[in-house]
Copies of this chain bind each other. A is one copy, B any other.
């Protein structure tokens, strides 16, 4: 039995994950609450203890953190959201409290890629990039059916790659930036748009795009343009033939991908693009938790 824990800036989601990828016994906690009460790491330790008491069959705990990790996967070394965890020997602390249990940590975007690898519809793929388009823009890569972590352990941080306008991919298409872009476009839009008078969210823009709203479609084209630009460099660097797209904006897949492909085809020879398979990630919000559990599957 495996416990998966998906740690985010807003909430911490825990769940028992079966080898078939079924999640049960979900418990969700407020991240800030954990920080403020007894400190994040101690709260994590206590809650894991509660699970172990209730489910003594748990043999391993996998955790995804939204930050950069030490090469030996024992510590988080850079994380903006939960600073008190940075450089804390979190795996060692948990190991000494619960010595019979295996603990593993990984970056959250890499967990999402692993989730698709172990439990998604695309699990047969040899290699892919999983892009998470949300508040942040994350990347996780599978090469030869293994998680790729690069030279020092924190590869594929694609959200921070520069696009041609001098901003990073995340600064162009991360949700808050995208909403800002949409509001600006709307305020100066000469034509009619269904977005007028609405509260702008990715979901609302997508609903309008589905109904044929030109401005809404154009806003997702903007996402595809910058995603495509950054993909040119990523594909030249990693030579992958599959891209999976997940995260909060990925509902607009059909409006994003044509422009992304067009941009890639503009700058890459057919070798890279003609067999390129671009698909939706299928696990949604559960990819991170499932991937965290996946860290343990290989080891037990």
Where the two chains meet, the residues of A that have a C-beta atom closer than 8 Å to any C-beta of B are: 68, 77-78, 126-128, 143-144, 149-158, 160-162, 164-166, 168, 229-230, 232-234, 236-241, 267-269, 271
Contact = CB atoms under 8 A, between A and B. Distances in A.
A232 B162 CA distance: 8
A226 to B, nearest CB: 12
Contacts of A157: 236-237, 239
Given A230-B233, A233-B230, A162 B239 contact: no
A151 B126 CA distance: 8
A238 B155 contact: yes
Nearest to A234: B237
A160 B239 CA distance: 12
Contact of A229 (B127, B162, B240): B162
Given A127-B151, A164-B166, A237 B237 contact: yes
Contact of A78 (B150, B151, B230, B269): B269
Contacts of A78: 269, 271
Contact of A143 (B151, B165, B233, B267): B151
A162 B164 contact: yes
A180 to B, nearest CB: 21
Contact of A271 (B77, B232, B238, B269): B77
A126 B149 CA distance: 14
A239 B158 CA distance: 11
Contacts of A241: 151-152
Contact of A127 (B152, B162, B234): B152
- The 3 A-B pairs of least Cβ separation, nearest first, read A127-B151, A150-B239, A151-B240
Nearest to A142: B151
B68 A271 contact: yes
Nearest to A242: B151
A267 B162 contact: yes
26 contacts: A126-B151, A127-B150, A127-B151, A127-B152, A128-B151, A143-B150, A144-B151, A150-B240, A151-B238, A153-B239, A154-B239, A156-B237, A157-B239, A158-B237, A160-B267, A161-B232, A161-B233, A161-B237, A162-B232, A162-B233, A164-B165, A168-B267, A233-B234, A233-B237, A237-B237, A237-B238
Contacts of A128: 151
Nearest to A232: B162
Interface centre among A143, A144, A233 (most CB of B within 10 A): A233
